Amino acid sequence: MIELKQVSHQFKIGKKTTERIVPVLHDISLHIEKGEIVAIVGRSGSGKSTLLNLISGYLRPSEGEIYVQKRAVTRLSEGEWADFRLQHFGFIFQSFQLIPSMTAFANVELPLVLKGVKESERRKQTLLMLERVGLQDYAEHYPSELSGGQQQRVSIARALIVNPPILLADEPTGSLDSENEHELLRFIEQLNKEQGITFLIITHDDKVASFANRTILLQDGKIVDRRLL
């Protein structure tokens, strides 16, 4: 499903005359099977978010190759990557990243608009997805009118609306209380079992990490431990 071969990444900081290289990831090789729930853990600055951004194509590695469903995605153009991302990935963020000026319905519908799905079909799919996450009565509410747990469910509905085989989650429970965190983890488990969705989750939360099938510990940009749970 996802494979990294000797991936390294570095950032350039400063102007040309004072430019310096900051290494972030070093020689990462990693294979994630279809249907796995994998947690990537590590301290702040260990390279977790950079790794997620490389896998999703928002960054390109300085060295190495990345394959998603056997396709060498590091060789895609920006336009090809955008199309590939829309077809294969869903994203769940700690800050939800909902558009505040758009209703819950419009936020969930947006990926279908980008895909060019006709309006009648968009409406049908969006209402079904909101019902699936238990928010059918909140379709016309704006993010500011929803609780944190409800906003996260809108975010998940938006991620699922294109039926992606892979969901990438960056600290998905970071803004949730314990009750909503438990509800989110149960929903992830349900999606994984019923649809075989592959989850790659960045977290510093031990409860979330223990929920995964496998954890990968990053330290100073290197994989230092892999565990089956």
Instruction: Dig out the tokens for 19 from the structure.
Output: 């430019």
Q: Is 195 left (phi over 0), alpha (psi -120 to 50) or beta?
A: alpha
pTM: 0.86
The CA distance from 139 to 136, in Å, is 6
Binning the chain into helix, strand and coil, the percentages to the nearest 5 are 40, 30, 30
Whole domain around residue 201: which residue ranges?
2-228
Task: Tell me which residue of 21, 30, 92 sits closest to 55, measured CA to CA.
Answer: 30
Please report, for residues 18, 93, 191, the alpha-carbon distance to residue 214 in angstroms, rounded to integers and kept in the order given. Answer: 42, 20, 17
CB atoms within 10 A of CB 37: 24
Instruction: Tell me the pLDDT of the chain (229 aa) as tens digits.
Output: 899 999 999 988 877 777 788 899 999 999 999 999 999 999 888 999 999 999 999 999 999 999 999 999 999 999 999 999 988 999 988 788 899 999 999 999 999 998 899 999 999 999 999 998 889 999 999 999 999 889 989 999 999 998 899 999 998 888 888 888 888 888 889 889 989 999 999 998 888 888 899 999 999 999 987 665 4
Quick one: how far is CA 191 from the chain centroid?
14
**CATH number, domain at 138?**
3.40.50.300
Confidence (pLDDT) at 186: 87
The CA distance from 204 to 52, in Å, is 14
> With 0-12 CB in 10 A as exposed, 13-18 as middle and 19+ as buried, what is 229?
exposed
Work out the angle between the directed axes of helices 148-160 and 119-132 (0-180°, nearest 10): 130
| Overall number of domains in the chain | 1
Confidence (pLDDT) at 37: 94
* Torsion angles phi and psi, residue 94, rounded to 5: -60, -40
Instruction: Dig out the tokens for 1 from the structure.
Output: 């499903």
